[in-house]
């Protein structure tokens, strides 16, 4: 999980959020459950902005959203409990189908999940090898509720660690400065926000940076 920052609200939402919200509340007023109401936030302009904002990754597990049909617009505070925020730009992000499903309608005032836009992620959770470990109760709940150590994530993260370990080794063994720099650059690239599981890469990179930069 990485910290995310809101970009500008898409025009389509700016122009329509209020009227869409009125329509929603009209239906709710008639007793229609929210699950049966056709909601309008799945507009391509909204999706495009959210893809940019989240670097094309699930806001929780950082898996790349590889196909637009896998793109689930996620309400940080669930729309069923906070219908008022259904069309609030601040409340929208992207999640992969698994995180979206695991999160369900969870919200507890006393113990909310990590909000990648508000919480400082590194103070809530940390990596131990390929496994995400909690630091706080909020971190513990988020890992448990979203199942952030599910086998496929562990496997993908382990592949990342393996790839980085090989690069660190190559870096260590290279004697020609330009080759050394090439490996270092490649390692740095893996920590960029748009790269899948970059938080893991960043934590690995940071843990070794001090040891290795002296040899650059």
Binding site for Zn ion (CB under 5 A): 58, 60-61, 96, 99
Q: How far is the CB of 102 from Zn ion (least distance, A)?
A: 8
Residue partners of 212: CB distance under 8 A and separation at least 6: 168, 171, 172, 184
Of residues 167 and 196, the one with the C-beta less far from Zn ion: 196
Q: Quick one: CA dihedral 45, 3, 204, 147, positive or negative?
A: negative
> Which three-class secondary structure state does DSSP give residue 94?
strand
Of residues 77 and 99, the one with the C-beta less far from Zn ion: 99
Buried b (16+ CB within 10 A) or exposed e, 168-192: beebeebeeeeebeebbeebeebbe
Q: How far is the CB of 37 from Zn ion (least distance, A)?
A: 25
By the 8 A CB rule, do 1 and 61 touch?
Answer: yes
Distance CA 120, CA 55 (A): 18
Of residues 56 and 83, the one with the C-beta less far from Zn ion: 56
Q: How far is the CB of 57 from Zn ion (least distance, A)?
A: 8
Q: How far is the CB of 71 from Zn ion (least distance, A)?
A: 11
Of residues 71 and 164, the one with the C-beta less far from Zn ion: 71
Distance CA 185, CA 159 (A): 19
Of residues 117 and 212, the one with the C-beta less far from Zn ion: 117
Complete DSSP assignment for 125-180? EEEETTEEEESSHHHHHHHHHHTTT-HHHHHHHHHHHHHHHHHHHHHHH--SHHHH
Residue partners of 188: CB distance under 8 A and separation at least 6: 205
Q: How far is the CB of 9 from Zn ion (least distance, A)?
A: 23
Q: How far is the CB of 142 from Zn ion (least distance, A)?
A: 12
Of residues 99 and 114, the one with the C-beta less far from Zn ion: 99
């Amino acid at each position: 999980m990485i910290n995310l920052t809101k970009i500008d609200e898409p025009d389509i939402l700016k122009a329509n959020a209020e009227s869409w919200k009125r329509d929603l509340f009209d239906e709710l007023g008639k007793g229609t459950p929210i699950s049966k109401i056709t909601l309008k936030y799945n507009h391509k302009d909204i999706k495009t902005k959210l893809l940019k904002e989240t670097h094309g990754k699930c806001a929780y597990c950082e898996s790349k959203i590889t196909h637009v049909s896998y793109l689930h617009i996620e309400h940080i505070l669930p729309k069923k409990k906070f219908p008022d925020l259904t069309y609030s730009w601040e409340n929208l992000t992207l999640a992969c189908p698994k995180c979206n499903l695991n999160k369900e309608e969870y919200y507890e005032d006393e113990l909310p999940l990590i909000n990648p836009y508000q919480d400082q992620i590194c103070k809530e959770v940390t990596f131990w090898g390929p496994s995400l470990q909690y630091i706080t109760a909020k971190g513990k709940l988020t890992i448990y509720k979203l199942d952030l150590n599910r086998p496929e994530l562990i496997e993908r993260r382990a592949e990342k660690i393996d790839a980085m370990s090989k690069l660190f080794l190559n870096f260590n063994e290279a004697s020609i400065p330009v080759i050394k720099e090439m490996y270092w650059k490649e390692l740095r690239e893996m920590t960029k926000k748009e790269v899948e599981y970059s938080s893991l890469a960043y934590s690995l990179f940071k843990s070794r940076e001090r040891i290795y930069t002296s040899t650059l």
